[in-house]
Structure 1
């Protein structure tokens, strides 16, 4: 089984400006700080974005904490081609991943970013529960990214 999450983020800027923001290390640093990660490392090389972050397992149900340990190391790897991005998210050493796309589309004077991710955790019996938990965490992170992005673009 796998869980799918589709979420739209809206911005009051042209798609090309949003694309530039998504490739800006300063923006990615702001997002990491806004989401409260323990520590992070952001690397941008043209159209390739890699974000490593370490999160606290605080708030995660006890059935899941034994799988993640004292902190959760997440690696987000994005490859952008114009307004289309491919995203792969892994938790090194853990049996699961997220893969999908982000597409920027003009909407009037603004932009809609559609994020479409598939979450898969290969753990018998509890994998589906953990996929749901990850989907909730991802949605929260996307909403924070949208808030930071709207502020970033308003400057």
Structure 2
């Protein structure tokens, strides 16, 4: 089984500005702060139009349901790796080192009438019998909240 997460982040800015924002390590650090991570490291590497972004972060697991707590502990490491083949299309892989689960998908940036939409389409898969589906739902909820925090941080960033 797996769960799909399809989420749109909208910005009142041109696509080129949104792409530049996503390539800015300072923006990625602002997103980590908005997501209330305990510590993080951001790496951004560019080669022409190709962009590699890695956000290695640690998050508290306060509020995580008891059935999941034994898998994630008090704090968990989340590594988000993005590979942007073009400024408008990227692959996303999110891993939780040492934990079960696989999150992968794409981010696509489109612009219409000065409004840019980043569409994130992820598949979340946890291969644990009996509770895998519950963990997938939990990860989908946590990823949705993380994307909402990123969208809020992005709107603030672009308004400066």
For 2:112 and 2:69, how far apart are their aligned partners in 1? 41
Residue in 2 aligned with 1:110? 115
Match of 2:100 among 90, 95, 103: 95
Give 1:57 shift. Answer: 1.0
Cα shift readout 1:12-66 (whole Å, capped 9, x = no counterpart)? 1111110110010000000000110111111101100000011111000011010
> 1:47-58 maps to which residues of 2 (within 5 A)?
47-58=51-62
Secondary structure class of the residue paired with 1:73: strand
Aligned residues: 155
> 1:27-106 maps to which residues of 2 (within 5 A)?
27-46=27-46, 47-82=51-86, 83-106=88-111
Residue in 2 aligned with 1:151? 156
Residue in 2 aligned with 1:8? 8
TM-score (norm. length: structure 2):
0.95
Which portions of structure 1, spanning 4 or more consecutive aligned residues, are displaced by more than 3 angstroms? none
For 1:71 and 1:11, how far apart are their aligned partners in 2? 32
Residue in 2 aligned with 1:134? 139
Give 1:99 shift. Answer: 0.1
Unaligned runs of 5+ in 2: none
Give 1:136 shift. Answer: 0.4
